[in-house]
A and B are shown apart, each in its own frame.
Chain A
């Protein structure tokens, strides 16, 4: 099992740092999947912990100037490791004005993902920071837990409003209720609702637009006025929104009535999918 990669371009490095910061906000620990073409950051929460799933995917060649890996075997040319996402984000934070960054799997004192950064300094001398991020290699029998989640057939697909606005709304709602109902219809309307014994608050978003339907699914003959709704843990939604520091190029919300809400985001060339199941 080998992995070694290098970033030299400052823009790529910044982008990668942003992604790692987002991961640190979205998940405490995440699984990094490495294969010859792609990197994935994966979160697959136990149902008992809320059952949130995350799937972040980036093409390695958009980031790395060098990328070498050798998986467990030729047929299974992949590597799965678990790491604390905060560690990765902290390691990359020191790479702000780096000349180059290297990542590799090592086994120094323990299995780790070593991030070494060659810094630029005023005196033109070489300064190198090395971070050994402890990892847990995930055995092959558990790989099946970290496969790309299948996107369910949505009742309603709708573009999201500006995430910052949505975040500030949800932040306020969190003080009042633990659950939030997110509902939308094919008319481009999205509502965020909380209901308690004392108060009901609803925020309405209008004219959001719905993407053209990809398949001849059931929602074709759906009444455009009819809402599809999911009641979710407000903290999970807020965590997702707080993780989005930059507004994505595309943000889509898919709702399967009373079952799951699926957020599909695109940050330039990095896709992020986030699944929050309905509260039972």
Chain B
């Protein structure tokens, strides 16, 4: 086998490796007839990613003859990433990149042909492996959003880098909403800031979802694919179903495609519910405006909607108790600034959300190729005999 990548495509390949490295520790490399596939899965199997580079992406693409098994191997992500570590150097100095398999020494050889005749050769050890194939089908997802990566990149920019999960949903007026996801901690006094980004539907190339749908997924992996898509100036499609079902993020080009499958939170949490429907259990008179805060912000200027019923009179510490969560029978809807509210707030919090749980993605048995809807890799039964 031998694949030769030249020019700007080296950087594209490197960028893809970077985004894969955000997910898994091992990289599955397969030389298929319809292209080179790079795949990975995270340790908890809640995120899977694959890129397929078509033969045309390469200057030269030689694979095993059709009657043989395709070459498959598994390498450490870290070692493969180190080859493509600095994208700037890659862009500036590397002219060609050649990936081949040395059968005698059982090494995957990555050669970087740089300027001035410098040649960097990385010999990476690998393991034989089976094909890694997640079972997913974008076509089966009822909801699809598609937008230029740049739009989505700007949309996630306000969120802090440390934020783990984000809720994506469609709100009123078909505005797409991204909101930082917070685990409910009933008794915690310290709360994090909640950030919400609301984007008009005109920024989307495709928006096929009803108002009120929402899913919560990991931001880190999503950012990985986004940065790839942004650098390649591609559009990103998001296919999703109900909460708990995996969401599929795809980028496509004539020369490559990428699929990221991310688990979504299975419990519809109060926050994501909020995008669509009002919570019935609110003691506070549920102001219309509160259910979709994004809408009122610039359209509704009625200050009374924002009347805040917090107690600041002498001797009370009303702000401590979370009045919205308590089933207290006293909705303080007439917030006379001096009204003394008694502090007999029941301490039980109803419907304390069950612990957060991502459902692991289901990986198809390699014995059931019929399940593999994602055409490029016919799932083969036997272990590959690593014959370079």
Q: Chain A residues in contact with chain B, CB under 8 A?
A: 1-2, 4, 68, 70-73, 79-80, 84, 87, 90-91, 94, 100, 102, 104-112, 114, 116, 118, 121, 123, 125-141
Contact = CB atoms under 8 A, between A and B. Distances in A.
Given A72-B313, A138-B312, A139-B314, A129 B203 contact: no
Interface in B227-275: 270-271
Interface in B272-326: 284, 290, 293-294, 297-298, 303, 306-320, 322-324
B118 interface: no
Given A123-B203, A126-B200, A104 B158 contact: no
B344 interface: no
Nearest to A99: B298
A125 B200 contact: yes
B193 A125 contact: no
Contact of A125 (B157, B199, B314, B318): B199
B294 A121 contact: no
Contacts of B190: 134
Given A72-B313, A116-B297, A125-B203, A131 B194 contact: yes
Contacts of B199: 125, 127
Contact of B324 (A100, A110, A129): A110
Q: Number of contact residues on B: which range applies?
A: 35 or more
B197 A128 contact: yes
B337 A73 contact: yes
Interface of B: 151, 154-155, 157-158, 160, 190-200, 202-203, 270-271, 284, 290, 293-294, 297-298, 303, 306-320, 322-324, 335, 337-338
Contacts of A114: 293
Contact of B202 (A118, A125, A135): A125
Question: Chain A contact residues: over half helix, strand or loop, or mixed?
Answer: strand
A141 B294 contact: no
A121 B198 CA distance: 12
Given A108-B293, A125-B199, 15 more contacts: A1-B308, A2-B306, A91-B195, A102-B298, A109-B322, A121-B154, A125-B200, A127-B154, A128-B294, A130-B195, A130-B196, A130-B198, A131-B194, A131-B195, A137-B311
A91 B195 CA distance: 8
B324 A109 contact: yes
A129 B202 contact: no
A2 B338 CA distance: 13
B184 to A, nearest CB: 9
B157 A94 contact: yes
A132 B190 CA distance: 13
B1 to A, nearest CB: 44
B237 to A, nearest CB: 18
A112 B316 CA distance: 18
A107 B314 contact: no
A139 B193 contact: no
A280 B313 CA distance: 37
> Lowest 8 A-B CB distances belong to which pairs?
A134-B191, A125-B200, A137-B319, A94-B158, A116-B297, A132-B194, A130-B196, A87-B193
A68 B304 CA distance: 11
Contacts of A129: 158, 195-198
Which of A1, A108, A116, A137 gathers most chain B CB within 10 Å? A108
A110 B312 contact: no
A66 to B, nearest CB: 9
Contact of B303 (A4, A71, A118, A139): A4
B312 A130 contact: no
A138 B151 CA distance: 40
Given A73-B338, A108-B293, A2 B307 contact: yes
